[in-house]
Amino acid sequence: MQTDAIRLDGKVAIITGGAGGIGAATARLMAARGARLAIADIAFDAAQTLAADLPEAIAIALDLENESSTQAMIATTAAHFGRLDILHNNAALLGPDIAQQDGDIEHMPTALWDRTYAVNARGTMIACRAALPHLRATRGNIVNTVSNLAVQGHMIQAAYSSSKAAIIQMTRSIAASHGIHGVRCNAVAPGMTMTPALRAAFPPSLREAVEAETLRDQLGEPEDIAEVAAFLASDAARNITGQLIVADGGCASHVPGIAQFRAFLGDHA
């Protein structure tokens, strides 16, 4: 394999939810490695601002709840650049107002459950379905952003976590059905990541509780997840498909209560 396989020169990538947080960090990194980009986001003004700062990028208004909008994203990108090599499904239904409603199943509003699946699972499926003919032509690949909550039980975010678990299985399904055509499909599962939105909205006490269960000495930054996504999208990962890479600082890898064990063991930990 060539030593520059991590590069993305000449490749065309779509990043959904690309205007901020993990999506924006990934857009900047992929652009630095030579990719031409379509930054798709419901926050169109922010997508335009970011696209203007990158060498070869366009902004696309995207509403993942709207099938026509999602299909148009793929068609617009392919028409503008003449090809499609990478689909990074990063957008999701998030925000403080959503988080307040997304608790346990007993108290789950049906409308919230349906909307979460419409955006996260259904929207991702439609994007993949529309992109696959183009990706077959370029032997391209899909990278799906999921969550470490998709592989762990939690007291909250039942709709979000289960919709992300559905995307993990979708990832494996696409890898199995389209690998013979040269198409790879993988998923990256961040843990709590210090995006600007999280810093502004998440209670410090809960953030500290998650940080205490992290095996690193800090929570991840958007750039940490961008590195994983850009690697999976590159030819350096050409033998990796159908995989879930958990990039959560080790939170999902250990027995419960490690923070309490650390406190008990003190300097011997």
| Confidence (pLDDT) at 91 | 96
In the chain, where the domains are located: 12-268
| Confidence (pLDDT) at 3 | 63
Per the CB < 8 A criterion, the answer to whether 128 and 170 are in contact is yes
Catalytic entry in 112, 160, 175, 193: 160
| Confidence (pLDDT) at 104 | 92
53-78 burial code (b ≥16 CB/10 A, e <16): ebeebbbbbbbbeebebbebbbebbb
Whole-angstrom Cα distance, residue 190 to residue 221? 10
| Confidence (pLDDT) at 17 | 97
Assign a CATH topology to domain 12-268: Rossmann fold (3.40.50)
Asked if 160 is an active-site residue, the reply is yes
Whole-angstrom Cα distance, residue 107 to residue 182? 44
Could you identify the residue written with the tokens 């060539």?
2
Whole-angstrom Cα distance, residue 88 to residue 143? 5
Which tens digit of pLDDT belongs to each residue from 75-88?
Answer: 999 999 999 999 99
β-bridge partners, 37: 13, 57
| Confidence (pLDDT) at 235 | 98
| Confidence (pLDDT) at 31 | 98
Which tens digit of pLDDT belongs to each residue from 184-222?
Answer: 999 999 988 878 777 766 778 878 888 888 888 888 899
Whole-angstrom Cα distance, residue 256 to residue 213? 8
Is the model's pTM score more than 0.95? Answer: no
| Confidence (pLDDT) at 268 | 62
Return the structure tokens found at 186. 């993988």
Which positions of the chain have pLDDT values less than 70?
1-3, 200-201, 267-269
| Confidence (pLDDT) at 1 | 45
Whole-angstrom Cα distance, residue 70 to residue 125? 10
